[in-house]
Amino acid sequence: MLEATELPNITFHVIPFDAGAHPGMASSFIALQFAEVAIPDVIYVETMAGELFLEQESDVRRYKLMFEHLRAVAASPDASRLLLRSPATEK
């Protein structure tokens, strides 16, 4: 994973435990955005009950807002790399 953080097309952020509870704890999701303007954005959500593809504008907007909140509470890319390295060096 450390090698992937060095790639130019990847921005890696870790939300440290001391950030406390955050909206991303409930489930994982992926925001799909397409180069073709005619194809609307989609949110893919994985739950224990199955997978969902959310296409309604209000749902997409809600998840994009949640993503921005997660980025705001996450460590910077440099600090995230340090957090990722620390468990590996503690052995």
Structure token pair of residue 63: 């998840």
Q: Which residue has the higher pLDDT, 18 or 52?
A: 52
pLDDT tens per residue across span 65-86? 999 999 999 999 999 999 888 7
Collapsing DSSP to helix, strand or coil, 19 comes out as helix
**pTM higher than 0.85:** no
Alpha helix segments (H runs only) across the chain: 2-5, 57-73, 77-89
Nearest-angstrom CA–CA distance, 6 and 69:
24
Q: What type of residue sits at position 16?
A: P
Nearest-angstrom CA–CA distance, 66 and 22:
9
**Cα-to-chain-centroid distance, residue 84:** 16
Structure token pair of residue 18: 């001391």
Q: What type of residue sits at position 24?
A: G
The full set of domain ranges for the chain reads: 1-16+75-91, 23-73
